[in-house]
C-alpha cells in the first residue's frame, strides 16, 4: 500500500492506494461514528465493511445523476433513515458518486463525515481527492458545489480490474493533464508509464494533486491549474448532453482534446512555441486519446459554454502553458478562442 497525505491542518487526511485498500474502511472512519450509509453506483455491490451498523443505498447511473434532484433525494433518504451528525457516508463508485455524496455530506445537517472509495481510474486520480464536490445544471458542468474534505480516500486498484475500455480512456485523460502541471520535475510524467505499476501510476497522480490542494484548498489561484484542459473539456461534455448532439465523449476524452486546444491557444497568444504544442499532442496520443475536435463542432456553441465555466469572472478564463509553467489567464478575447477552435476544425 502507498499512503499520500493531503496536508490541510485539522482537515488533513490520507489517500491510501493499493490492491485491497477498501478493506481498511473501518480503520479510517472518524472516531465515534455510530452508523454508516454506504452510497454506491447503481448495480454495484460495494463489498465493504465499515465495522459498524450500515445500510447500502444506490444512486442512479450516469452523468445525468449528477444533479440537484439526486442530491435532494439522497438527503431526504438520509433524513428518513434518521442519519445523525455522529454518522458517516461512504461513497463507492466513480466521480459522479463521489461528487454527489461529498456534496450531500457537506450540506446535510450542515456537514457530516464521509469517506471516498473510488472505483474508476478517473475518480482515483482526480475526482475523489481534494474535497471539491459539485453537480451539474442544464447551463453547465459543476456549477453548484462546495469544498468539503473527506475523512479518508481508499483507492483500491482491485476495483479497476473490470473497468471498461472507455473508462480507462477517461482516466488516462486526467493522467495526461498531470504530465504538465507538476511543480516538482520528479513528479512530471510523460506519455510512457510503462515503467510504473498501476498502483504507482495512481499514487503518482494523487501525489501531484495532493501537493496542489495542500497549497491552495479553495482554488484561490494555484489549484486552478488542476483544471488544465477542462475549460474546453467541460464545454464539449455540456454540448454532448444537449439536444441534437452528434458526439459522445467521456470526461477524460474531452479533457484530452482540451489539453491540445489549450496548447494551440497558448501558441496563438505567443506563450509557447510549436515544439511545446507538438509535445502536448505526443503526450495525449501516447495515452491513445483523441487530439481533434469531434466532427460538426460549433465554435460559437462551445464559447457559450466556456463563458459559464466556474473559473470565469465574467470573462473567458483558461489555464494555459508558458515558460513559467501552467497558470490561469483571464480576459481572453472570444475572437481569439473562436479562431483557435476553427484552426482545429470547428465551424464558426
Flag whether pLDDT at 187 surpasses 80.
Answer: no
Q: What is the pLDDT of residue 191?
A: 42
Residue 339 scores a pLDDT above 60: yes
Cα(15)–Cα(41) distance, integer angstroms: 21
Alpha-carbon Rg for the chain in angstroms: 20
58 is catalytic: no
Residue 343 annotated as catalytic: no
Are 2-163 and 222-343 the same fold in CATH?
A: no
Residues 211-257 have pLDDT tens digits of 999 999 987 778 889 999 999 999 998 887 765 666 778 889 999 99
Mark residue 334 as left, alpha or beta (left: phi above 0; alpha: psi -120 to 50; beta: remaining): alpha
> Domains of the chain: which residue ranges?
2-163, 222-343
Tens digit of pLDDT for each residue in 32-91? 999 999 999 998 999 999 999 999 999 998 888 999 999 999 999 999 999 999 999 999
Decide: helix, strand or coil at residue 141: strand
Please say if the pLDDT value at position 93 is more than 50.
yes
Q: Say whether 227 is catalytic.
A: yes
The CATH code of domain 222-343 reads 1.20.1090.10
Alpha carbon distance, N-terminus to C-terminus of the chain: 50
Which of the residues 251, 264, 271, 310 is marked catalytic?
A: 251
Where do we find the cell 475536435?
293
**Is 11 known to be catalytic?**
no
Q: Which CATH number fits domain 2-163: 3.30.70.141, 3.40.50.1580, 3.40.50.1970, 1.20.1740.10?
A: 3.40.50.1970
234 is catalytic: yes
Is 219 known to be catalytic? yes
- Catalytic member of 22, 116, 142, 174: 174
Look at residue 185 and tell me whether its pLDDT is greater than 60: no
Residues 6-26 have a mean pLDDT of 97
Q: What is the pLDDT of residue 244?
A: 65
Please confirm, yes or no, whether 132 is among the known catalytic residues: yes
Amino acid at each position: 500500500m502507498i499512503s499520500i497525505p493531503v496536508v490541510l491542518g485539522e482537515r488533513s487526511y490520507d489517500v491510501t492506494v493499493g490492491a485491497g485498500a477498501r478493506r481498511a474502511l473501518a480503520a479510517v472512519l472518524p472516531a465515534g461514528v455510530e452508523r454508516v450509509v454506504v452510497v454506491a453506483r447503481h448495480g454495484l455491490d460495494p463489498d465493504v465493511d465499515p465495522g459498524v451498523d450500515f445500510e447500502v443505498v444506490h444512486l442512479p447511473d450516469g452523468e445525468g445523476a449528477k444533479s440537484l434532484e439526486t442530491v435532494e433525494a439522497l438527503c431526504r433518504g438520509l433524513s428518513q433513515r434518521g442519519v445523525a451528525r455522529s454518522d458517516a457516508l461512504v461513497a463507492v463508485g466513480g466521480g459522479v458518486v463521489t461528487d454527489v455524496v461529498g456534496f450531500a455530506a457537506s450540506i446535510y445537517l450542515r456537514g457530516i463525515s464521509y469517506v471516498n472509495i473510488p472505483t474508476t481510474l478517473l475518480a482515483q486520480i482526480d475526482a475523489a481527492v481534494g474535497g471539491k464536490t459539485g453537480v451539474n445544471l442544464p447551463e453547465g458542468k459543476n456549477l453548484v458545489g462546495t469544498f468539503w474534505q473527506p475523512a479518508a480516500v481508499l483507492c483500491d486498484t482491485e476495483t479497476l480490474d473490470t473497468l471498461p475500455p472507455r473508462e480507462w480512456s477517461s482516466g488516462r485523460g486526467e493522467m495526461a493533464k498531470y504530465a504538465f502541471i507538476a511543480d516538482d520535475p520528479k513528479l512530471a510524467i510523460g506519455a510512457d508509464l510503462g515503467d510504473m505499476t498501476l498502483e504507482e501510476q495512481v499514487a503518482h497522480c494523487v501525489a501531484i494533486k495532493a501537493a496542489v490542494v495542500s497549497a491552495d484548498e479553495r482554488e484561490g489561484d494555484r489549484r486552478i491549474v488542476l483544471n488544465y484542459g477542462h475549460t474546453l473539456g467541460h464545454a464539449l461534455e455540456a454540448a454532448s448532453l444537449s439536444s441534437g448532439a452528434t458526439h459522445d465523449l467521456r470526461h477524460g476524452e474531452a479533457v484530452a482534446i482540451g489539453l491540445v486546444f489549450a496548447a494551440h491557444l497558448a501558441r496563438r497568444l505567443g506563450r509557447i512555441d510549436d515544439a511545446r504544442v507538438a509535445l502536448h499532442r505526443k503526450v495525449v496520443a501516447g495515452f491513445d486519446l483523441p487530439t481533434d475536435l469531434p466532427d460538426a463542432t460549433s465554435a460559437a456553441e462551445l464559447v457559450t459554454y466556456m463563458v459559464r465555466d466556474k473559473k470565469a469572472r465574467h470573462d473567458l478564463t483558461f489555464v494555459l502553458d508558458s515558460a513559467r509553467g501552467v497558470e490561469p489567464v483571464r480576459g481572453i478575447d472570444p475572437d481569439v478562442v473562436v479562431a483557435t477552435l476553427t484552426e482545429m476544425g470547428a465551424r464558426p
